[in-house]
Amino acid sequence: MSEWSRCSSELLAKLISQFCKENLLQPVDNRLDLGGVSYIFEATRGAFGSWRVAADSIRRTTAGILGNDESEVATDPIQFFVEAAGVLGLDGSTVAGYVAELTSTLAADVRMASTAVAPAELLELHHSRLEGHLTGHPLLVANKGRLGFSASDSLRYTPEARTPLRLVWLAVRRGLAEFRGTPDLSEHSVVGRELGPSVLETFRAQLVDPDSYVWLPCHPWQLDHVLRTQWARELATGEIVVLGEGPDEYLPTQSIRTMVNIANPARYQVKLPLKILNTSVYRGIPEHCTLAAPMITQWLRGLWSRDEVFIRLGTELLGEVASVAVRHPQLSTAPGIPYQWTETLGCIWRDPIDPRLRPGESVWPLAAVLHPGLALELITRAGTDPQTWLSHLLATLLRPLLHLMHHYGITVNPHGENLAIITNPNSLPARLVIKDLVDDINISTTPVDARGPEPDSHHRVLPRKPWHILRQYLVDALLLGVLNPLSDLNLIPEDTFWGLARGEIDLYTTTHPEYADRLEATALTAETFARYPLNAYRLTLGYKDLDTRPPIPTTGRIPNPLSKVLPIPPERPW
């Protein structure tokens, strides 16, 4: 079977699995009738009502010209989706837009498959290079849609291209741009650290009055496709000056818009806007997030530095320490402008991981555990059995996240891109890294004394949510988005896997009786959770140009495997 056929079959199986899980399609005896055509397949059911469709089992049946049914092996997700569009109730523009995202995803999957590296070799890579081998969001079917990228862009700027790039530096007139930083950082110190003395002097020589500008990096794609068109007037008048390429090479992470410095890993990670549509939203950076990032980081650092649990667990917070926001002089103040046009310039500098590592430690993004064969290789390297290794992983993940939510009433969005795992010299998961803060931090509507006064008391940036909604971030991003696909790998029996997770929750509950009311409100062992359908969200929105990112609506309930499973006490004490 060719790489294209194999990847196509796997994407079709994922599409059917996820659409059935989200109740978009409702099979009867593993059969989907889509009008004049039907699909049959073999599947098993997993936790949270998930489906696991076997890629090699899918067959497409149509009525033959002589009245008899004709059946053939089905491998084409595009054909399936178009034939399902009527049942799904989709209009033509939504069908066309989603087909474009599916096709782009499939093309990327084939490129990755053709350059696949053995798991043992992957673990020899620096974490920044490992990112380019990971397969993308496990629940979103069209997880590499990237509408706006051309074919050559995809070969140049995507994680799987694994091609280093240099960022282009801009100087933007003060008033149009605004720098923010944590109290220990000045604007000059950030720019000087990132550029080095010689490049700094070269860039300053291009400007009559260098200090009348705010300096920031820009993604080369954004420079060509957005800056030189949408900001042409500012370039012509000298309000924006293109200074040239920075000195270091970067690689994109799975999120595409976040860059990791591979020439000087101790320098900052950089988050940059890209005017492409990917995984449901345009990948700009909202101005309020850019401006608030250092303030939120400083607040969280204060909590972290005083917290005995985080100190004991060694949980690392990668702060978003500095930022530049650039407001479009007309569009930023006009009502109803689609957000893709108002989030085009700016940057956020984030702490790097590498300086946080202790002797003998290594680090990898959490998403790596879902890469084929990688979890088993990690277990083999640790020289332990799967249950022991997974118990360490679950303790590393759940203990700081449960503490953050219940002690402080704060939650992050803990999916595979936003978390990283630090392993100890014995290759066992030991410490958690949390990143991507300002975009994803939420706090409880109920005031919590431990977190003190919120830094946005006057100008709200942090969304306030009730406890059961805070819980949902942990449920959707971690339990459904990482742990359920990990349990599907059958490293240990499913009941054992969820028993280990339940054991961690029960341990936290018994260790912290003072949070009984909050634990009751978050109800992580409830019989059901709300369903937030990620794939249906894109199909419901369609491809209209919206002025805001609307929230994902709920559609019914899903069963919770943690509600009835027998807890397995953790091996590691709290």
Residues 182 and 263 in one domain: yes
Whether residue 296 lies inside any domain: the answer is no
DSSP string, 283-310: E---HHHHHHHHHHHHHHHHHHHH-HHH
User: Do 2 and 54 belong to one domain?
Assistant: yes
Q: Confirm whether 415 is domain-assigned.
A: yes
Picking from 296, 327, 350, the residue at the C-terminal end of a domain is 350
C-beta separation of 144 from 161 below 8 A? no
Residues 199, 79, single domain; the answer is no
Interatomic CA distance for residues 178 and 199, integer angstroms: 22
**Any idea what the CATH number is for the domain that residue 464 is in?**
1.10.510.40
Residues 339 and 406 in one domain: no
Q: How far is CA 222 from its chain centroid?
A: 21
Indicate whether 403 and 343 sit together in one domain.
Answer: no
Sheet of 419-423: strand order equals: 316-317, 429-434, 419-423, 362-365
Mark which of 89, 119, 136 sits at the end of a domain: 89
What residue spans of 22-172 are helical by DSSP H?
Answer: 77-88, 92-114, 119-122, 127-130, 151-157
- Same domain as 177, residue 264: yes
Residue 182 falls inside a structural domain: yes
Query: What distance lies between CA 396 and its chain's CA centroid?
Result: 19
> Which residue range(s) make up the domain with 16?
1-89
- CA-CA-CA-CA dihedral for 361, 364, 369, 371, to nearest 10: -130
How deeply is 312 buried, as exposed, middle or buried, from its count of CB atoms within 10 A (0-12, 13-18, 19+)? exposed
Tokens in use for 207?
């400007």
Q: Are residues 191 and 327 in the same domain?
A: yes
Tens-level pLDDT at each residue, the chain (574 residues): 689 999 999 999 999 999 999 999 999 999 999 988 999 999 999 999 999 999 999 999 997 656 667 899 999 999 999 999 999 999 999 999 999 999 999 999 999 999 999 999 999 999 999 999 999 999 999 999 999 999 999 999 999 999 999 999 999 999 999 999 999 999 999 999 999 999 999 999 999 999 999 999 999 999 999 999 999 999 999 999 999 999 999 999 999 999 999 999 999 999 999 999 999 899 999 999 999 999 999 999 999 999 999 999 999 999 999 999 999 999 999 999 999 999 999 999 999 999 999 999 999 999 999 999 999 999 999 999 999 999 999 999 999 999 999 999 999 999 999 999 999 999 999 999 999 888 889 999 999 999 999 998 778 889 999 999 999 999 999 999 999 999 999 999 999 999 999 999 999 999 999 999 999 999 999 999 999 999 999 999 999 999 998 889 999 999 999 999 999 999 877 7
Domains: count for the chain: 3
Q: Are residues 261 and 376 in the same domain?
A: no
